[in-house]
Amino acid sequence: MPVWLELILRVAGVLVAFLTLPLLVGQAEHKVMAHMQGRLGPMYAGGFHGWAQLIADGIKFVQKEDVTPRDADRPVFRLAPAVALVPYLLALLVIPLGPDDLVGQPLDIGLFFVLAVVGIGVVAVLMSAWASANKYSLLGGLRGAAQLLGYELPLVLAAASVAMAAGTLSLSGIVEAWQPWWLLWQAPAMVVFFVAGLAEIRRPPFDMPVADSELVFGYMTEYTGLRFAFFLLAEYVGIVVIAALTTVLFLGGWQGPFGDDYLGWLWTLLKVFAVAFVIIWLRVSYPRLREDQLQRLCWLVLVPLALAQLVLTAAVRLAL
């Protein structure tokens, strides 16, 4: 197969995943929350089990007027939703779905690349907050910047632990080096990574930047129509990326219990959706953390735990 054709097929596959997986997660969130909280609305659109709820939401966003505040910095205001969305597309390019280079673009430094591009999210938050010319948006943006910059540290430290254990920064290499006993050995790093990942994508209970009871809707207050929908889509793609990274780094990726690598992509997807379900479940089950609680959890719990896990991993690697 020509190189250019293979490249086109890989990019097309990533685009399909980028456009479909977040919608499936969004539909699942509607249904899971409806069952857990006894919500009737999401069960009616389209008839059977509310199958058309996501389509109805899409039509609603398309019909809404695209409003830009009079005093807003228009170019920055309009660009922010794209800046929030594109980093996750780049991250999906290097996350492996299965063995034999079943990945958009295999990189020897894939983990470093993913952590670098995911960190761009704070730029989108600050752009939308500052450009909106709204005090509530600005407060939400400042909260978001403090949260994202703080939780970036435990996220990177936890990822560094499993990379040190595997001896590589390649995401495919980490999956190949993974052993079932890592579920115990790297469990603290997995918990730290997962919790910090939730904070990075601003999912409840880490949604202080968009606290509706205090800040209307934070840095997204002035957004309407498709631009607001892009922010929501970025949140769902973020769920997919964090769930996929948790799967690849800590849950063995495509490795199944029976050693059947030819079904590796299926095992990866099953694990990703299982982790995404936990993310949705946490939204329903836990109240929003206050700002002081959020920062205390980061600096007094997650960072020390991640550092301790890093020391343990280094000691085990030296011993082996």
How many C-beta atoms surround the C-beta of residue 81 within 10 A?
Answer: 23
More confident residue, 246 or 71: 246
CA dist 205 to 180, 251, 303, Å? 30, 23, 18
pLDDT digits (tens, 9 = 90+) for 207-266: 888 877 766 777 888 888 888 888 888 889 999 999 999 999 999 888 877 766 667 788
pLDDT digits (tens, 9 = 90+) for 80-133: 998 989 899 899 999 998 887 778 788 888 899 999 998 888 888 888 888 888
Percent of the chain with pLDDT over 90: 32
Q: Name the band, by pLDDT with cuts 50, 70 and 90, for residue 17.
A: confident
First to last CA, the chain: 42
Q: Name the residue type at position 131.
A: A
Residue 139 has pLDDT above 70, yes or no: yes
pLDDT score at 44: 77
Alpha-carbon span 308 to 71, nearest angstrom: 48
